[in-house]
Amino acid sequence: MASKKYVYFFGEGSKEMKKLLGGKGANLSEMTNIGLPVPPGFTITTEVCNLFYELGEKYPEGLNEQIDENLKKLEVEMGMTFGDKENPLLVSVRSGAAISMPGMMDTVLNLGLNDTTIDSLIKKTGNKRFSWDSYRRFIQMFGDVVMEVERDKFEEALQAIKSKNKVKLDTELSADNLKELVSEYKKIIKKEKGISFPQDPKEQLKMSIDAVFGSWNNKRAITYRNLHDIPHNIGTAVNVQVMVFGNMGNNSGTGVAFTRDPATGENVEYGEYLINAQGEDVVAGIRTPKPISNLKKEMPGIFNQLIDIFKKLEQHYTDTQDLEFTIQEGKLYMLQTRTGKRTAGAALKIAVDMVNEGLIDKKTAVLRVEPEQLDQLLHKQLDEKSKANAELVAKGLPASPGAALGRVVFDADDAVKESKNREVILVRTETSPEDIEGMAVAQGILTARGGMTSHAAVVARGMGKCCVAGCEDIKVFEEEQYFTASGKKVKKGDWVTLDGSTGEVFLGRIPVVDPEVTGDFEIFMDWVNEFKTIGVRANADTPKDSEIALKFRAEGIGLCRTEHMFFESDRIKAVRKMIVASNEKERRKALMALLPIQKNDFIEIFKVMKGLPVTIRLLDPPLHEFLPTEDEDIKEIAKELGLEFRELKATIVSLHEMNPMLGHRGCRLSVTYPEILEMQTKAIFEAAIELTKQGYEVKPEVMIPLVGSVKEMRILKKQIIKIADELIKKSNVRFDYKVGTMIEIPRACITADEIATEAEFFSFGTNDLTQLTFGFSRDDSGKFLPDYIEKGILDKDPFATLDEKGVGQFVKIGVEKGRKARKDIKIGICGEHGGDPDSIKFCHKIGMDYVSCSPFRVPIARLAAAQAALEEI
């Protein structure tokens, strides 16, 4: 029986086959098919990688034969042979998963060189120096990634030869120096591993393929996948491709480019290149490359050909591409193309521009921007005024936008440690994939070397994290833990501020301000609104929050937590008086003092919201939360309230609860102390009446928290309506209002049909509902949830993304039962999940009317809602 097809020659696959061929392999096939100059090669599928692990690091039957067949085909096509004395075939071996994982897995270049083929390479190229340099690079890479010899050993040997010959740069080494280095490298391998560097190219190839498949499960690749939510079972493909050399002299070079600017989205060529260099030199950030626009002067023919290819690729893929190319002795070759990663600002601009250019439709544009990515756009920026007076000490490349401030650390482990207690900025000469965990926890990243496409820049942009790269104004002393800039010494623990949008580095702390969003953002968000069917409201407790919510076009307030107003300094005293009151009369007196303050809060919020619905929740937390716990504070407050210390302490002790989250809170407070509900209802309706009289439109929705029984709802609703209707009648005005409830107790979901006979709206409080469904304390889950995720018991934090299987089923039942009992019931969600794209998609699917989230997440929620609607079509 013929074995399954495990190997595809370039051209046999297509861009649709990413899952099987990996992104790189699929696109190399596609570029070959559309006639672009791609050096030939073949791809070993991701399926082989998965089988390799399933079979205990063994390959499936028939694979070796297929590799041999394709190698033969390559040899015939090139007229070259592996290990041939006259015309040796040289190849690269690279990884390539379906989802790009830059720099995380292994690569081997110049494979096929050995002590014999080196002579033919010299003869063929007439370039001794180039040939020996290629050989020593190959041994170095092979030694490092395939044979796992410590990288530093090769670096030391290179430094030693440079010192011996009194040169500074690698490029100053002569052919003989490099030849000597080759023999040093071979000795290192023999010494470290006890075996010789393999001379047989087939053996080299086999070992390299093993290493690339093996690198799928190296530590940094696993960390990267965990950080980016990439499944561990998709595997990588391996691409074997004929080598082209960018280091054959000054008519050769290598570069990376984007078809549009990935930072701003502008439709201009963008990228960088190095003359006389190999691909890895650009990405590794070892030499600082030149901007691609410079190529126009240096190699006009190649530049024009590249621009044509940009256009062709964009038309073909209808998206911005990120590509790698090599120029070998004046001839251009394409080595990779993939969808270009971009900042949120660029993503919006590109989406809007491409619709205007007729390349894509609005629907595609809306589906193309990641909702979470918008967060970057809404990131804080440095306050311009303070920035003008701040101490600017260096300027690098604006690699990833936003502002970041923190204390300086110089290695990734330190960043992980220190970030537990403080904000840190990771400063490195250059970053490497091993730094990934440190980068993830840092506020921002600063590197002295590397370009816009260096590791630091690419990874930071992917993380939406502020990054200044290639900042050659600073000198980093990693061992000694300090850097110098403008004659200043900045030590570990000192504060610095970065502006990732300009590349500026400041000493000290600069205040940050909220971002302004205009232009493309508005156009794009208009399209979003055309498609979304579910409403988006905001959780806002103050007029300021409400203003932000409205600016982001929230369609109302879905949750105003009135207790947040109680904590402000001008009212906490009255709140405490109310709590410590020993009888109803005293409590009412204290509440009377709170009434005008609370009324004023509602007046301001109603005014801002201009007639949009405002859902106001009655007091929810247990009362002891408003009282101090430390004796020192109790003494102070007792004095303030005119009480004895012992008296106040006794009250506090009496309010203590074993499980406050399950205790005297939510609607239970109103059941015990109806006067609290009375005061809050009065404040809401007096405010609404006053504004209505002044000509404002108001839509109050009074929400009762933590209901578990229809009877709670019935009793409390009756009290609210009585007060509200009396006030409205007396003042002779008209406006509609609603009384509804939060659904945040499992019993409320199960009896939602009963509750809906009283409630005019439901708002799912999925924070409490998650807590009560799992039995996980909201406040303590941080202690064990990370272990649950690491051990695979849970995929995600259920307090961040709604657990569809469990909590989601309660929500679904609640929605269905609620609607059955009251057809026009309004249903929304106001737990944290209301701002999470996946959870929003679920809410859309089960037919909610709206989601409500924090003001800054409103645009994210709107986009997720639109995508949910579009994905259904």
CB of 597 to Mg ion, least distance (A): 24
- The minimum distance between CB 483 and ligand PEP, in angstroms, equals 43
Choice between 464 and 621, CB closer to ligand PEP: 621
Amino acid at 670: S
By CB under 6 A, which span of 357-365, 418-426, 600-608, 765-773 interacts with ligand PEP? 765-773
Q: Which amino acid, one-letter code, is at 862?
A: R
Residue with tokens 């000795």: 187
Structure-token pair, residue 314: 């964009």
Q: For ligand PEP, which is the closer residue by CB, 324 or 744?
A: 744
Residue 615's nearest CA partner among 537, 678, 549 is 537
- Residue 831 interacts with which of ligand PEP, Mg ion, none, CB < 5 to 8 Å by class: ligand PEP
Do residues 689 and 728 make contact, with C-beta atoms less than 8 angstroms apart?
yes
Min separation Cβ 676 and ligand PEP, Å: 16
> Min. distance of Cβ 809 from ligand PEP in angstroms?
17
Contacts 24+ apart (CB under 8 A), 736-739: 736/699, 737/685, 737/688, 737/699, 737/700, 737/701, 737/702, 738/700, 738/701, 738/702, 738/826, 739/701, 739/702, 739/704
Q: Which two tokens stand for residue 756?
A: 């809906």
Distance between first and last Cα of the chain: 43
Report d(CA 450, CA 549) in Å as an integer.
40
Q: CB of 613: closest distance to ligand PEP in angstroms?
A: 17
3-state secondary structure 40-103: CEEEECHHHHHHHHHCCCCCCCCHHHHHHHHHHHHHHHHCCECCCCCCECCEEEEEEECCCCCC
- Which residue in the set 87, 767, 801, 809 belongs to the binding site for ligand PEP (CB under 6 A)? 767
Q: Which of ligand PEP, Mg ion, none interacts with 601 (beta carbon under 5 to 8 A by kind)?
A: none
Amino acid letter, 75: E
Residue 561 interacts with which of ligand PEP, Mg ion, none, CB < 5 to 8 Å by class: ligand PEP
**Three-state secondary structure call for residue 499:** strand
| Sheet strands (E) in 706-795 | 738-743, 761-764
Question: Toward ligand PEP, which CB reaches closer, 343 or 615?
Answer: 615
Residue 290 CB, nearest distance to ligand PEP (Å)?
53
**805 CB-near residues (< 8 Å, 6+ apart):** none
- The smaller minimum CB distance to Mg ion, of residues 765 and 835, is found at 765
Q: How far is the CB of 706 from Mg ion (least distance, A)?
A: 7
593/591 Cα distance (integer angstroms) = 5
Fill in the DSSP letter of residue 530.
Answer: H
Q: Do the Cβ atoms of 490 and 483 come closer than 8 Å?
A: yes
Collapsing DSSP to helix, strand or coil, 340 comes out as: coil
Binding partner of 319, given Mg ion, ligand PEP, none, CB within 5-8 angstroms per partner class: none
What's the closest the beta carbon of residue 371 comes to ligand PEP, in angstroms?
20
Token pair for 418: 């220190």
CB atoms within 10 A of CB 169: 8
Pairing of strands 699-704, 738-743: parallel
DSSP 3-state assignment of 418? helix
Using CB under 6 A, pick the residue from 512, 684, 707, 830 that binds ligand PEP. 830
**Binder of ligand PEP out of 162, 561, 635, 845 (CB under 6 A):** 561
Site for Mg ion in 723-782 (CB under 5 A): 744, 765, 768
Looking at the Cβ atoms of 225 and 617, the one nearer to ligand PEP is: 617
Find the part of the chain contacting ligand PEP (CB under 6 A) among 18-26, 365-373, 711-719, 766-774: 766-774
User: Of residues 664-683, which lie at the interface with ligand PEP (CB under 6 A)?
Assistant: none
Figure out which of the listed residues 319, 322, 324, 620 binds ligand PEP, where binding follows CB under 6 A: 620
Q: Binds 170, which of ligand PEP, Mg ion, none (CB < 5 to 8 A, cut-off by type)?
A: none
Which CB atom, from 600 or from 767, has the smaller least distance to ligand PEP?
Answer: 767
- Which of Mg ion, ligand PEP, none is residue 830 near (CB under 5 to 8 Å by kind)? ligand PEP
For residue 192, how many other CB atoms are within 10 A of its CB? 14
* Options 322, 353, 744, 803; binder of ligand PEP; rule CB under 6 A: 744
Q: Count residues near Mg ion (CB under 5 A).
A: 3
Which CB, 597 or 661, lies closer to Mg ion?
661
Those residues whose C-beta lies under 8 Å from the C-beta of residue 671, and which sit 6 or more positions away, are 712, 715, 716
DSSP string of 603-628, one letter each residue: HHHHHHHTTSEEEEEPP-S-GGGGS-
The smaller minimum CB distance to Mg ion, of residues 768 and 832, is found at 768
Decide: is 765 part of the binding site for ligand PEP (CB under 6 A).
Answer: yes
Tracing tokens 């979901």 back to the chain, one arrives at 749
| Residue 411 contacts which entry, Mg ion, ligand PEP, none (Cβ below 5-8 A, type-dependent) | none
Residue 263's binding partner among Mg ion, ligand PEP, none (Cβ under 5 to 8 angstroms by kind) is: none
When asked if residue 276 is in the footprint of ligand PEP (CB under 6 A), the reply is: no
Helix (H) or strand (E) holding 752, with range, is: helix 752-755
Task: Give residue 839's Cα distance to chain centre.
Answer: 17
For 304, the enclosing helix (H) or strand (E) is helix 300-317
523 binds, among ligand PEP, Mg ion, none (CB under 5 to 8 A by kind): none
Cβ-Cβ contacts under 8 Å for 329 (sequence gap 6 or more): 248, 249, 251, 252
Residue from the set 45, 343, 443, 766 that interacts with ligand PEP by CB under 6 A: 766
Give me the least distance between CB of 798 and ligand PEP, in Å please: 12
**Binding partner of 766, given ligand PEP, Mg ion, none, CB within 5-8 angstroms per partner class:** ligand PEP
**Which are the catalytic amino acids?**
455, 830
From ligand PEP, Mg ion, none, interface partner of 265 (C-beta below 5 to 8 A by class): none
CB 763 → Mg ion: shortest distance, Å?
10
Contact call for residue 831 and ligand PEP (CB under 6 A): yes
Q: Which stretch binds ligand PEP (CB under 6 A): 112-120, 360-368, 491-499, 762-770?
A: 762-770
Of 562, 563, 589, nearest to 574 by C-alpha is: 589
Q: How far apart are CA 110 and CA 280, in angstroms?
A: 12
The least CB distance from residue 764 to ligand PEP, in Å, is 7
CB of 779 or CB of 871, closer to ligand PEP: 779
H/E run at residue 829? strand 826-829
Cα 401 to Cα 60: distance, rounded to the nearest angstrom = 46
Q: Under the criterion CB under 5 A, does residue 180 sit at the interface with Mg ion?
A: no
**Is 261 an interacting residue with respect to Mg ion (CB under 5 A)?**
no
Total residues contacting ligand PEP by CB under 6 A comes to 10
Binding to ligand PEP (CB under 6 A) within 124-183 occurs at none
Nearest Cα residue to 503 out of 456, 535, 462, 471 = 471
Measured from the CB atom, is 550 or 559 closer to ligand PEP? 559
**Segment lying near ligand PEP (by CB under 6 A), choices 579-587, 605-613, 625-633, 761-769:** 761-769
User: What does the longest C-alpha to C-alpha distance in the chain come to?
Assistant: 105
Closest to ligand PEP by CB, 383 or 625: 625
- Only one of the segments 8-16, 399-407, 746-754, 759-767 lies at the binding site for ligand PEP (rule: CB under 6 A); that segment is 759-767
Min dist. Cβ of residue 833 to ligand PEP (A): 8
Contact residues for ligand PEP, defined by CB under 6 A? 559, 561, 620, 744, 765-768, 830-831
Contact residues for Mg ion, defined by CB under 5 A? 744, 765, 768
